[in-house]
Amino acid sequence: MEIALEKSTETNASLKIKLTKSDYQPEVDKKLKDYGRRASIKGFRPGKVPPSLIQKMYGKSVLVDEINELLKNTVNNYIRDNKLQVVGDPMPDREQADAIDWDTQSEFEFNYNLGLASDFDVDFNALPPVPAYEIEAGDAELDNTIEELKTRFSGHAHAEESAEGDMIYGELKQDAKEEGAEPFSTKTALPTKQIAADELPKFIGLKKGDIVTFDIQNAFPDEKSRALATGLKGEEAAGLEGEFTFTVDDITRNEPAEIGQEFFDKVLGKDAVENEEQFREKVLEIIKSNYGREATTLQRIEIEQALLDNIAISLPDDFLKQWLLSNNEGNVTEADVEEQYEAFARSVKLQLIKNKIASENEVNVSYEDVMETTRSMVREQFGFYGDDEQMKQSIDQIARQYLMDEKGNNYMQMYNRMFDDKVIELIKGKLTLEPKTISVDKFKELVSARQPKA
């Protein structure tokens, strides 16, 4: 076997592989012999099929499979042993492969195009300081949050006269369209939020006993809103048309919750606080905690941007675009690839940097690390408390089942998340972090500006 790497540019190379009969024939013969022992062919006793017949029946397919397996292992081992920074997958020369005569050739040549990332170093001392944000949350944020909570935990009150946002209860009717047919009639509730703007005035100012006439398709233009208003299934509601009458029986309105113990208990749990002052203090703590998590997320984005801005990596752009097209054949167009390539290249560079940092600093995620994090997730989601043996076994069973689901994708997602978290924490320990206090509005501006382009 001969292997040669030829680099045409810093980021593009071809891997040429020459195979002779001695490279593949021993394994081919071994597999054909095994076929002969197991083959069941009419007219021959088991294990007595002539080798020439086995060769005729299975020889070519065994040869192709063996060479493909040999090539796959050879390419992967060469990349690993020579520590090539390959991006995308090696792309075989299809024309060369298609020209092979498997019936007569005994020596073969294969060529794989490789996309390589340029060499780079990670010098933490050369990276700029990264802000460690503390978000100011004061009375304005607290008051806004409490108003939102009052709306979220609102109660229902009966209204004398309908207004926008109310729910109107009553009887919806339509006369029979054809002689002998049954008229339509149902008790229902009309949510005024679902009524079309042009028709809404008809439903404002109604009182108990009032009757309103309207065209069903004008008032509820889409099928979902008609289904909600009539209580019918989507396909049945889709066919409704014409004038309907609605007789008002009742009107209800959401009213913001009133400040008091009942409201405190609904928001924070029973008897968590005893008065409004304690309530405001507790809600402010929660706001600051939430903003703290968001600040951590923003800091992560800032760190990643600092890595990208200060570590130069060249990618084989044309190769990668072609690889993306080939790898997603029929699902994406050249225009799709061009549109999405910048975000893709960004993620590739970030992963290369993080992988190098992890390798140089021996960052590892073990199976037990993944299991322990999954156990914590299970405890939180299912509200499991306690430390007895039966509880531990139940948690472990649920955790293992979760990690095995989706063909192992859940495990890989959890592993990748933990790997990424460990690398980011390591980076934070090596960078200079500058405390920076900012307002909520400024924080939102920064988040919006730092969001990676889709």
Q: Each residue of 82-130: pLDDT tens digit?
A: 999 999 999 999 999 899 999 899 999 999 999 999 999 999 999 999 9
The closest alpha carbon to 410, from 36, 16, 418, 326, belongs to 418
Position with higher pLDDT, 404 vs 70: 70
Quickly list DSSP for 214-279.
EEHHHHS-SHHHHHHHH---HHHHHT--SEEEEEEEEEEEEEPPPSSHHHHHHHH-TTS-SSHHHH
pLDDT band (50, 70, 90) for residue 337: very high
Residue 12 above 50 pLDDT? yes
**What's the pTM value of the predicted model, to 2 decimals?**
0.69
Strands (E), 53-116: 86-92, 108-116
What pLDDT, on a 0 to 100 scale, did the predictor assign at position 158? 93
Residue type, 113: N
CB 39 within 8 A of CB 49: yes
Position with higher pLDDT, 383 vs 429: 429
Residue 453 above 60 pLDDT? no
Residue 360 above 50 pLDDT? yes
Q: And the tokens for 172?
A: 């919806």
Residue 244 above 60 pLDDT? yes
Determine what percent of the chain is predicted with pLDDT higher than 90. 66
What pLDDT, on a 0 to 100 scale, did the predictor assign at position 379? 86
- Quick one: average pLDDT of 179-208? 91
What pLDDT, on a 0 to 100 scale, did the predictor assign at position 410? 92
Which domains does the chain show, CATH number per domain? 2-116 (3.30.70.1050), 124-139+266-450 (1.10.3120), 155-255 (3.10.50)
Q: Count, in order, helices (H) and strands (E) of the chain.
A: 15, 11
For the chain, the average pLDDT equals 90
> Can you tell me which residue has the tokens 């509200």?
383
What pLDDT, on a 0 to 100 scale, did the predictor assign at position 454? 46
Position with higher pLDDT, 392 vs 92: 92
What pLDDT, on a 0 to 100 scale, did the predictor assign at position 41? 78
The closest alpha carbon to 63, from 27, 99, 94, belongs to 27
Q: Each residue of 49-93: pLDDT tens digit?
A: 888 888 888 899 999 999 999 999 999 999 999 999 999 999 999
Residue type, 7: K
Position with higher pLDDT, 20 vs 41: 20
Q: Each residue of 126-168: pLDDT tens digit?
A: 999 999 988 888 888 899 999 999 988 888 889 999 999 999 9
What pLDDT, on a 0 to 100 scale, did the predictor assign at position 452? 57
